[in-house]
Structure 1
């Protein structure tokens, strides 16, 4: 329940020119798809007591998982950078004298202070922080509904609409499935006999309700920027300070100083969103192996990661929408490939939890060689390239899924399909020759 997910909803009209109803339908169905891997992987944490990257050794092998860990580190840092930009926009909207880079540093340092002291402090902060932000979002909903400025933008049609739906869906999927690569990191503390069904649906409810609420709220409020009644405070606010300016246009006139207080609360909500990202950086670094990564305390890697994502976020502040779209697609692409390999191994070859020999998690000679997984990962990349739709490249299949020259993004769908099928075939040969 944070402002980053609200910012995702804004992209429906801003970048993809969708109407209200079609954008909400895309939001619903692609979130449904995206959260399923997160929910499923979360059930592994309690049963095995292993973090997600360590657990991934059973699918990718001792050496292959290091490639996945690098992608996970990049994803965590990217998430943190994107989120901190949103928080900085809110701070700038409250006080124009605070530049974007200062807001990014404020959010980043506050996040570091929470994660510095380990999981228990992170858990306590996450346990309570959703309450004030939920209250603020309800206030935003009430004020905007009372204003009567909602515009029911019509649904599009034809090939252009199909391309926009697929491309926005890719962004929604990337945001929803983004926790897959560290889902088990935060369920390892559950009892080993905890019901997997309970964990699955607890995570499902905990993701779906806030994602749908905040993203659809962003979709609705962004429609007001299309009002044609002279001066448009929503469009002006968004042009001045992005997400923060848009929310300021909703709150400042009717609520005054209290509206500014609400924006500060939302800006601080970014800390809750960034804590799991930056905390998991240290866990992923240690999976890379070697004396350096093992002996250096995790809080040091957390601090280093903080410095890196600050350096990424500051230059990205001035063109946030492009950064957000490209990053969400990157997340969706690589995680779809990761999920395709993991699901192929689990459902075709292991099939049950008892097939995992936990004693092998730190024994390279007894883990899979990882050749099939790396081969499938490369095949997944090939599928991703064929289906991706970016400003700098549009794949041949994507071009057929939407209106030229932009097409429709089907990169994550093809990445999953290619990696799943290729792993299912290659793993059979790997088992035959290596027996593990």
Structure 2
């Protein structure tokens, strides 16, 4: 049956899901996909790091990003509140509406980036018989079919969809090892490398922590007395392990591009899709390799399903009148917007992915900074302090002026520390020859200070 519930509080009677495996596989399937592989490859092809350096960045920044997803998931079971509804209690009404609006845009952006990497694979199979727009359309339609039915069907789908993906990634490991093209390269130090490490770290952090603005959405049907440590580690490890595996594999395979002119040509024309095709099909598995490419391309559905489901919940949070519009309608709108964006952006995949991931890391760092400080400073870290039964009463949570001010301060920090192709901040451009991105780190710190100073006065004089 299709889920009819939107952003409303999930009652005790509805909290019947007790499976921790559901929590782990939700994020296992969503991250054991071609988009994760593509991001890992950027560490070598775009940021110019040695394989060992890329691995260290992946390990550290993935932990940093995945922690928040595990932490916020605890609130879903304990309070029965969706992530954006929970945010109202922590950063206030107006600030939550602001983040919900950004989240709608981010979810659509995620969907577009993910689909682009898969459309490359679908297009290259069978000598380009399937045009890019058709590949994008197929993936969007598949996403709609799963998200239409809601929470329970999503969990069932994600419970099993990781299995074929894992098999194909293992085949990629075997075939790549047989080519002998792996090249670890030597570590090179200096300010320029430091800048590349920080910039790649920002993209990995953005990818890993990207689920934090809807983490609680997928735990709300677990009973309130569910062990919080089991919730945290189910989500944390379910997210972290596939991130490590797939990102590192992407980086390893990308080291082979420089050793083979044919691989270089394929990568230049088809980006990561060309790299995967070279490993699985060309002088390799031929027809079976093409079949593997198609299955791997369809893995994007597992990654996009949570984006589109939570996008609808975020849209309902932006304005109370939007909450009256069914979740299914917002899901359809989100997928339509994703399709409209990913087709033209398909031809600029690398730059779009790098810039988008960094932008994601900026706003999420600001969000997490204020959420953490509100819970531990203003709610004293106690779940009992949340009057969740009054979720629809504006007097039960802050107005959100401190949250808006904290966001503005965070943006100021981001502007100083960012290093993008279209803009480099005063601090960011000082790091190495090509600059280094410390936007999310400065955004986190500036937002923390601005929010907590403003929250003192907001609580004292308003609520």
The runs of at least 4 consecutive aligned structure 1 residues that moved more than 6 Å come to none
Aligned-residue offset at 1:82: 0.4
Q: CA RMSD in A?
A: 1.1
2:361 alignment partner in structure 1: 332
1:44 to 75, 78, 99: 75
Q: Secondary structure at the match of 1:190?
A: coil
1:412 to 440, 444, 453: 440
2:10 alignment partner in structure 1: none
Distance 1:285 1:212 in 2: 32
Aligned runs of 1:103-142 on 2, under 5 Å? Answer: 103-142=135-174
1:20 alignment partner in structure 2: 51
Preserved contact between residue 61 and residue 364 of structure 1 (Cα < 8 Å): no
Distance 1:153 1:428 in 2: 52
1:396 to 422, 426, 429: 426
Aligned-residue offset at 1:262: 0.7
Aligned-residue offset at 1:145: 1.1
Aligned-residue offset at 1:295: 2.7
1:279 alignment partner in structure 2: 309
1:31 aligns with 2:62: yes
1:92 alignment partner in structure 2: 123
1:178 alignment partner in structure 2: 210
Preserved contact between residue 217 and residue 310 of structure 2 (Cα < 8 Å): yes
Aligned-residue offset at 1:276: 0.4
1:222 to 254, 259, 277: 254
1:70 alignment partner in structure 2: 101
Distance 1:132 1:138 in 2: 10
Aligned runs of 1:34-433 on 2, under 5 Å? Answer: 34-95=65-126, 96-227=128-259, 232-252=261-281, 253-291=283-321, 293-351=322-380, 352-403=382-433, 406-433=434-461
Q: Secondary structure at the match of 1:392?
A: coil
Distance 2:312 2:162 in 1: 24
Distance 2:178 2:358 in 1: 35
Preserved contact between residue 115 and residue 122 of structure 1 (Cα < 8 Å): yes
Q: Secondary structure at the match of 1:256?
A: helix
Aligned-residue offset at 1:254: 1.9
Distance 1:193 1:290 in 2: 30
Distance 2:399 2:151 in 1: 32
Gaps of 5+ in 1: none
Preserved contact between residue 9 and residue 219 of structure 1 (Cα < 8 Å): yes
Aligned-residue offset at 1:296: 2.0
Gaps of 5+ in 2: 1-31
Preserved contact between residue 63 and residue 240 of structure 2 (Cα < 8 Å): yes
Distance 2:391 2:99 in 1: 16
Preserved contact between residue 182 and residue 253 of structure 2 (Cα < 8 Å): yes
TM-score by length of 2: 0.91
TM-score by length of 1: 0.96
Query: C-alpha deviations, 1:303-357, integer Å up to 9, x for none?
Result: 1111111111011000100000111011100000000110111111112111111
Distance 2:390 2:188 in 1: 53
Preserved contact between residue 58 and residue 368 of structure 1 (Cα < 8 Å): yes
Query: C-alpha deviations, 1:197-224, integer Å up to 9, x for none?
Result: 0011111111111101111111011111
Distance 1:9 1:272 in 2: 18
133-142 vs 351-360, greater mean Cα deviation: 351-360
Q: Secondary structure at the match of 2:49?
A: coil
